[in-house]
Structure 1
């Protein structure tokens, strides 16, 4: 059995994907409305408490709550529950970076902690198209589950690295979204229809996934990850196209060189 804790947009999409792949799934959420939505979508009942889970039958636990504090509360609760030895506990929450770097303190558990931030949104989660970033005690026992969830898997050697990669990815996306917004405003100020420019960008070199999904309200959630990264590294870089573009491009290319 697989347990998904947190039936928000991403959690319920990941859980639905596992059900579609023929896996036994038990959803867990404190919110009655989310449990009702899960039942409406799948015909399956969800639990309202961790104590209602038959832990001796659980092979994997996916923690897909919104906040670091919520993820920590779940991990603390699992210390006192009869989770099957060797079960994989995968934390898909986007965590505070300093917290993620300290996840090794759970290495003494009988279950295996795996840091697993994901990228791709709920649409990719429903089709198994997520990008999975992972660190921790993952092994061959997790391969089939991970293959169900994602098409791209990037392993890291240390806790915290997957979270840093997720934050950097989302901050890069935020820069792209901000650039797209500025071009819409610049087009309007210069007398061009922003809608017409959007049609050009959709199939041209200036286009991007963020641009194609710019009107999706979920893009606003990028602000949370921008704040998370800023709190760890300080002020984020200012991208100024009025000067120094080639120098920054060269520096980035040098950073990528082996």
Structure 2
């Protein structure tokens, strides 16, 4: 890396599972990371665990050397508060980038992009959980300005898979659609195991059969291990999608329509694949 890149500071706002894991990963990659969390106990705990500085106030940060602000708070209003901070705005007006990992509605993502037009704001919802965040194996869905060389190295540190989109709002929409699908798969898996149990089949055996055969799904297979917080996050995203869309094929899908919906979607995928191949 160049000398100015080595000296650049990266501020990670929100030291929960994802933010804390990303901050830890970047520090292990030799980045000068400062963690921020309004919960001082969480900030202190992360500092002791990582060996990197962590603060609970933006006023404690020297912003002149900050090249990137990674935002991993829980809600869109919290993102607004972060980006409205004087120090954050000063850094961004000086060319620092902001990567927003918070899951939002597409409308909030577009509003945020418009409010910060001319600044380097990236919409970047992530998937993978705390362990993958710490190991640099997250999946990211991104749109924003064309990444600089410095920004590309940051992204390479954090993500094993990165999908890029054309317009603001698209990454958030697909993140919500994906997690709503995961929530439905989880619910269906739980109902399937319960149905088998009600008819005399051992629940653990039923779960193992489903996991190793045609009923398998990532969310359903994790049924026995998912925490209450993980389930709540899936439910939250499903609600956000419902708030954004008055209706969707995902809501309206029923077994009566399985042949027509699957056939139509197969056609869409074939057309899209053919178009990509020709281009």
TM-score, length basis structure 2: 0.86
Which of 42, 46, 67 is residue 34 of structure 1 equivalent to?
42
The alignment status of 1:58 with 2:70, answered yes or no, reads no
Counterpart mapping for 1:188-199 below 5 A: 188-199=197-208
The alignment status of 1:240 with 2:244, answered yes or no, reads no
1:195 and 1:230 mapped to 2: Cα distance?
33
Determine if contact 2:63/2:87 at 8 Å carries over to the other structure.
Answer: no
Q: 1:228 to 1:249 in 2, by over 3 A?
A: same
Which of 232, 251, 262 is residue 220 of structure 1 equivalent to?
232
Q: Alpha-carbon deviation of 1:79?
A: 7.3
1:135-182: CA deviation from partner (whole Å, max 9, x where unpaired): 111413311111111111111111111111111111111111111111
- Aligned pairs, how many? 255
2:267 and 2:87 mapped to 1: Cα distance?
45
Determine if contact 1:55/1:81 at 8 Å carries over to the other structure.
Answer: no
Name stretches of at least 5 consecutive residues in structure 2 with no aligned partner: 1-8, 273-279
Question: Where in structure 1 do 4 or more consecutive aligned residues deviate above 6 Å?
Answer: none
Which of 106, 111, 114 is residue 104 of structure 1 equivalent to?
114
2:105 and 2:87 mapped to 1: Cα distance?
21
Show the counterpart of 1:181: 190
Determine if contact 2:142/2:163 at 8 Å carries over to the other structure.
Answer: yes
1:5 and 1:175 mapped to 2: Cα distance?
31
2:75 and 2:62 mapped to 1: Cα distance?
25
1:140 and 1:229 mapped to 2: Cα distance?
32
Show the counterpart of 2:77: 69
Determine if contact 1:170/1:226 at 8 Å carries over to the other structure.
Answer: yes
Which of 263, 268, 271 is residue 250 of structure 1 equivalent to?
263
TM-score, length basis structure 1: 0.93
Which of 125, 132, 137 is residue 129 of structure 1 equivalent to?
137
Q: 1:2 to 1:34 in 2, by over 3 A?
A: same
Show the counterpart of 1:114: 122
The structure whose residues are more often helix, as a share, is 2
1:181-218: CA deviation from partner (whole Å, max 9, x where unpaired): 11111111221112112222333232222123223111
1:146 and 1:87 mapped to 2: Cα distance?
15
Determine if contact 2:73/2:102 at 8 Å carries over to the other structure.
Answer: yes
Give the superposed CA RMSD: 1.7
